[in-house]
Structure 1
């Protein structure tokens, strides 16, 4: 009696395993650098990119969408191309790949600085120092702080922590895990362009449209992943997972941004607070819908938001590292499964064609008289 063939686990090449380990290790090391050091205080690469993009904007600017699209294509395409070149240059040098990924991850992440700034503002509110708290708010968002009281300062900070947990942590890690160096550099470039020209000021109403839409697309998945991780990690900081889920599903789509509302609604529900309301941006007023159904935020809620943001960041890092490390095994499994799927699908389709052929002939095709064919 013949023995059944033994199905072996497909094993990828050593080089593929080494590069995947370098990729995953680089993401982990870059996140560790961000946790230990925060953003570089001098010569920040993102600030340098912003200066180059500003110079490019001065050359490309015109008050129309076509000029804005050209600007976005050049300013975002150049870092992506640089990432592709670096990836190709290190395809046989895993240690160099790990070092590049680590340095780039550190440069594009901003979670530690975000939480530090929010905590500093909370300290000022706890001390009753409203002027100091108002001075810190521009480090977190573009809102005019001059007339904000304690509750409104707390609301602005919690909203900023919620939104930027996606923009500064989850999205870079997700794109880094999915697309490596091009993903890390491309995402940060797109997000920076949106911050520079993506707002609705008279100058950028048309010119910034392409940058704003690119950022919306780049954050569609990460924003919803951030909201989901907020639900999952809420119990870690004694927040409410059911409140986060309820507010996310009910209010996440009410925000004018397709992405910010997802994160802010989940955060509001987790903390049991109410976000949204009237925002003043240096002469421009925006009325935002209410997210969540709780009380008005307080200074203590900022600290709870930063702890929840840290928990979400840790979960996102674990997922990104795991995804990057498993890449060669996924590819090997897919390569093994595709021929089997093809063998199963192709004969079935051929059988359907054979069974359908006689019926087609009996039904009268274009070769039969009276059906549009011609025998002359």
Structure 2
């Protein structure tokens, strides 16, 4: 089992190069559909909080059960195989199940697509960026668009790659599945608008589960000044997303900001053409280093 986990991570990252499974078979899409069933925004705050928490707990229990059942089914099915073949077969099967719970290639491609659209028109880039961020993109300047794309690349490096791998190392396929459910719930419910109370549990759960992975992501982005990193990370309202974003800003030597909310590495140079490609290359290195560290963690926990 100790060797199976790192091999399964390797399989998942290799299969990620091929792309995503079809929508009908994608577990994260299924999580979103489940969460979309609930219309809780009209409830009073206390009742909305309880209802949102119960919906979250039921959903988390379901995805954990399904992941545990699939993982157990694979182990049982391959139990009669001889040891080396069983190890390879289990790693391959579990890695294929893990793959939809992480998405590096899609994230990188979507971020670079913003730069491609900028070469055509600012309006086209704003529309493309709106697929990645929740903020209003219709009034963003060219610099703002590039900054937002780099920020979401850094933030989602944690959400879509490092954190699922981290929780897979800690708790196997159920751990990765619960994390992705928590992150999806936060993305759909965790806002300070009419969803605030029904999404408060989801937001806090995501904060808790992302706390360590976000700081690991910042570490593997290897900013040149680790001493400045905590101070810069605290400039964002989120307890976690500021860490990878600040690390990316320091690594690139660029200023990153959300107008009226925060500015990271204010002493840095403005974002320029080509910085999105540079950010993608830095993030790719971080994926490799992060996966290696998490593999070492998985090995240490199970030996």
TM-score by length of 2: 0.89
CA deviations on 1:177-215 (whole Å, 9 max, x unpaired) are 11101111111111111111111221x110000000000
Change (3 A) 1:207 1:250: same
Aligned to 1:48: 30
CA contact (8 A) 1:30 1:102 kept: yes
Q: How does 1:1-376 map to 2 (within 5 A)?
A: 19-34=1-16, 36-43=17-24, 44-55=26-37, 57-58=38-39, 62-63=43-44, 64-92=48-76, 93=78, 94=86, 97-125=90-118, 127-202=119-194, 204-231=195-222, 241-243=223-225, 245-278=226-259, 287-292=260-265, 293-329=267-303
Distance 1:178 1:167 in 2: 16
CA contact (8 A) 1:154 1:302 kept: yes
Specify the structure having the higher radius of gyration (Cα): 1
Change (3 A) 1:299 1:104: farther
CA deviations on 1:285-317 (whole Å, 9 max, x unpaired) are xx3221112122123111111111111111111
Distance 2:32 2:42 in 1: 15
Instruction: Note the C-alpha offset of 1:85.
Output: 2.9
SS in 2 for 1:290: strand
SS in 2 for 1:276: strand
Aligned to 1:355: none
CA deviations on 1:90-147 (whole Å, 9 max, x unpaired) are 445345642442123210111111110111111222x252122112102221122111
Distance 2:75 2:22 in 1: 31
TM-score by length of 1: 0.72
| 269-278 or 181-190, which deviates more | 269-278
CA contact (8 A) 1:60 1:67 kept: no
Unaligned runs of 5+ in 2: 79-85
Instruction: Note the C-alpha offset of 1:41.
Output: 4.7
Aligned residues: 289
Unaligned runs of 5+ in 1: 1-18, 232-240, 279-286, 330-376
Instruction: Note the C-alpha offset of 1:328.
Output: 3.7
CA contact (8 A) 1:198 1:209 kept: yes
Instruction: Note the C-alpha offset of 1:150.
Output: 0.7
CA contact (8 A) 2:191 2:199 kept: yes
CA deviations on 1:323-359 (whole Å, 9 max, x unpaired) are 3345442xxxxxxxxxxxxxxxxxxxxxxxxxxxxxx
